[in-house]
Structure 1
Amino acid sequence: METDGHGKSYGEWKHEKEGTPTLRGMVKTDVEMAMTAADSFAGFVAELQKKGYAVKYGSKAAHMTVRHKEAQKNIRLDKISPHFSEDSLRRYFRELQTLPPEMQQEYKQQTAPEPPRRKPKEQPMPVRRRARCRGRWNRSCRKITGFMACYYRYCALLRKAYKGKVGKRCYYLLRDDFLKYNRYRRQCDLLWERQITTLDELLTYKENLQAEYNTLTAQRKALYRRKSKTTPADYSEQIQTLTARIRELRREITTCADIEMDCGMVQDKVQRAKQPEKAELRVAENTHYNHVCAYGSQH
């Protein structure tokens, strides 16, 4: 099996399989968009800086690297794709500038790196089974509202934007939150599991967690005092059980605090994301209508 010599970590493979955003995928998309928008190497670097990247290149840097403002480490571009090395990029823009303006766009499309092709998995033949359902068919289901619906909508928008299934304006609105996807996913899961739909319910749930956390912490402190006076094995199991529960409570309290901090921003971005989608849908409908009218007038 032939490869390009560049492997990927298990975490990246898992995120790609699940369709969740990754840092390398975000960088790859932004580099390709910067190459399309720029006409020179300096313009390419400027486009990356506009997107929030710090770029290192030139004689003082062994390899060309970028780091997003929300990330904690630099990424080598040639590790993402051999086409993204500094020499390849400079050669690409030198050849681009030798062409007339009307041929430059065609050259960009011809030299764009091809996405990896994957063989689709063979789906097994469905097994038909008969089942008998007993009960009421018109059973009413609870409608999702409040925070829960807003977070579900936002996580779905992040996944669509990461896969390039939204317009450019919506993509630029959401792209800075790709690296925080797991944070919003944890908040969404907590709201769904606890059926929290309003801010008052969230604050009440957080107060109950904090009260339980304080109680268990006091119990564990008392067990530590008794453990020092008696044999250690008597209280070790109880301390481990309390520590596990305290760790869970601490994580949920932190998630509740994050929701309290992020809920306003999430609601605002969901509302702002609807406007570009409606505008682009309206433009698409008008374009289709004009094509239909032009075709009808010709025939």
Structure 2
Amino acid sequence: MAYTSIWSVKGWLGKVVIYAENPDKTENPAYFEKQGMTAEQAQGLSDVIDYAAQSRKTELTDESAEILRHYVTGINCSPETARDEMMAAKKKFGKEDGVVAYHGIQSFAPGEIDPDTAHEIGVKLARQLWGDKYQVLVTTHLDKASHLHSHFVVNTVSWVDGIRYHRTERDYYNMQIESDKLCREYGLSVIEEPKRGKSKHYGEWQAEKNNKPTYRSLLKADVDLAIAQSMTERQFWDAIKKMGYHVKYGQDITLRPEGKDRGLKLLRNFGEDYSIGGIRKRILANTRPQRRIVPADPPPKQLRFVGKLNKARRITGLRALYFSYLYKMGVLPKHREPNPKRVYFLFREDIRFIQNISRETRLLVKHGIDTAEQLAAHKDSLTQQVISLSSARKHLRYQTRSIGDEGKLAEVKTEIASLSQQIAGLRKEVRLCEDIDRRSVDMKEKIRIAAEEEKSNGKESKQHESVRGRR
């Protein structure tokens, strides 16, 4: 059984091509940075780069690195010059703007296939889907034996006639159909009579696979809970609204959480059980409503204070923002188990990014960073260190060309490896600084929206209390 998907990428084509060929190369900014790129263009590739930063789950030895390079194939282009050839096709027909490429994936069931066969199937699939008109780079990633998957970077402009490739829902379907045919040909399992529905983005599929909450999964869980707590349809809609959802009635009910620009259609996204008829049937099937269990307050703890209160310094700025956000997510205090059902929707949705947020928090605390200026200064310092170490590493690599003594050559290579490790660590910290700069803006906005919603609910509650009092 193979999962398939394909999505558009905006930004700089070289960044996607190099990630697909080898995620480790994204550690070197010289490979993918381009002067003049806007923040919007860089953000368009954030999913690819974020995954690349986390995809090195096993270290590759020199021998396995050779194997990895073996699993890179170009269709209508050479792997070594794929980016340049794709850009040449765009320039030839004057179509350099808009979507620069489509990034597809074919991921196989754990333990069902070997790397050679996985890459062979990936190449055949790419030839059948795009080989007659488009340039495609096919790679097979070997993160670990249980996670073999192939990536496809498809140029949007045909090198034959210049016609743009526009991905449609039919393309999603055809990709899965052709993939299933190849799986049957190679004796692999397939999902017989798959149910048609709204396609998922790879990032969402990956999050659900790892049991991490997503926008769709959180909303679906809230609908299920509201159904379980209701004995009538009116009780269901009251429960949904109390959870903070805006409801748009129609043939397909749309729910939109507070703070989201767009909602989700229940029938379209989750199937017949979530149509208005399906919801009614599920409510009527309840014999008794499920009650929300409110956990008892823990017993008070006795703490002994040491020191003077007037010397305690209050945390402000970015550190205070991150600590406040972690508390609202239900992560802090440290031994408090996160309970998504008790957390505001916008904070619950970010629980899947908890590891990234924790790393960013540790960086802020470690270096005492509270302001945007301090963050920018720290990032500049890291960048200068990267430039200095990269220069030293480049000089050592030149030396290896003229060293004849094996012992001396081994020493230099060890020093190069040490510098590479230091550079990788510094670049990860630079990326954390960039993520903090971006995420802090989102955090402030979500906290503002949640505060306004809480204030609004408080006013509404007081109005109801006054009405009851007069009665």
Shorter-normalised TM range: 0.5 to 0.7
TM-score (norm 1): 0.56
The match for 2:388 is: 215
CA contact 1:153–1:270 (8 Å) conserved in 2:
no
Matched, 1:158 2:329: yes
Alignment of 1:15-94 (within 5 A): 22-23=213-214, 26=218, 28-32=220-224, 36-37=236-237, 43=252, 46-47=254-255, 51-52=263-264, 66=269, 86=271, 89=273, 93=277
| Percent identity (aligned) | 19
Alignment of 1:188-203 (within 5 A): 188-203=361-376
TM superposition shift of 1:47: 4.2
Listed one character per residue, the Cα deviations across residues 220-258 of structure 1 (whole Å, up to 9, x for unaligned) are: 111222223223312122122211111111111111112
Match of 2:318, SS?
Answer: helix
TM superposition shift of 1:156: 2.5
Work out the CA distance in 2 between the residues paired with 1:241 and 1:55.
Answer: 55
TM superposition shift of 1:280: 3.0
TM superposition shift of 1:96: 2.7
Structure with more contact order per residue of length (Cα contacts < 8 Å, sep ≥ 6): 1
Alignment of 1:225-264 (within 5 A): 225-230=398-403, 231=406, 232-264=409-441
TM superposition shift of 1:260: 1.9
CA contact 2:375–2:433 (8 Å) conserved in 1:
yes
TM superposition shift of 1:95: 8.4
Work out the CA distance in 1 between the residues paired with 2:266 and 2:394.
Answer: 47
TM superposition shift of 1:218: 0.9
Work out the CA distance in 2 between the residues paired with 1:228 and 1:112.
Answer: 76
Change (3 A) 1:158 1:245: same
Work out the CA distance in 2 between the residues paired with 1:223 and 1:263.
Answer: 39
Listed one character per residue, the Cα deviations across residues 121-180 of structure 1 (whole Å, up to 9, x for unaligned) are: xxxxxxxxxx9x9x74557222110111112222332348972225xxx53x55654544
Structure 1 runs (4+) greater than 6 angstroms displaced:
53-56, 111-115, 288-291
Give, as a single letter, the amino acid of the residue that structure 2 aligns with 1:234: E
Give, as a single letter, the amino acid of the residue that structure 1 aligns with 2:361: C
CA contact 2:213–2:349 (8 Å) conserved in 1:
no
Match of 1:229, SS?
Answer: coil
Give, as a single letter, the amino acid of the residue that structure 1 aligns with 2:325: Y
CA contact 2:319–2:370 (8 Å) conserved in 1:
yes
CA contact 2:252–2:276 (8 Å) conserved in 1:
no
Work out the CA distance in 1 between the residues paired with 2:390 and 2:266.
Answer: 44
Match of 1:164, SS?
Answer: helix
Work out the CA distance in 1 between the residues paired with 2:218 and 2:279.
Answer: 27
Matched, 1:279 2:450: no
The farther-off stretch of 267-276 and 193-202 is 267-276
The match for 2:316 is: 145
Work out the CA distance in 2 between the residues paired with 1:273 and 1:208.
Answer: 36
TM-score (norm 2): 0.38
Work out the CA distance in 2 between the residues paired with 1:91 and 1:287.
Answer: 32
TM superposition shift of 1:92: 9.2
The match for 1:204 is: 377
Work out the CA distance in 1 between the residues paired with 2:356 and 2:279.
Answer: 43
Work out the CA distance in 2 between the residues paired with 1:215 and 1:152.
Answer: 34
Work out the CA distance in 1 between the residues paired with 2:308 and 2:428.
Answer: 40
Work out the CA distance in 2 between the residues paired with 1:51 and 1:152.
Answer: 29
Gaps (5+ residues) in structure 2?
A: 1-205, 228-235, 238-246, 294-303, 332-337
Give, as a single letter, the amino acid of the residue that structure 2 aligns with 1:235: V
Listed one character per residue, the Cα deviations across residues 38-88 of structure 1 (whole Å, up to 9, x for unaligned) are: 9x99535x44996347976xxxxxxxxx5xxxxxxxxxx7xxxxxxxx57x
Work out the CA distance in 1 between the residues paired with 2:359 and 2:420.
Answer: 21
The match for 1:96 is: 280
Match of 2:329, SS?
Answer: helix
Work out the CA distance in 2 between the residues paired with 1:163 and 1:91.
Answer: 25
The match for 2:445 is: 268
Listed one character per residue, the Cα deviations across residues 71-121 of structure 1 (whole Å, up to 9, x for unaligned) are: xxxxxx7xxxxxxxx57x279935836xxxxxx96x376488899x9xxxx
Which is strand-richer, 1 or 2? 2
Which is helix-richer, 1 or 2? 1
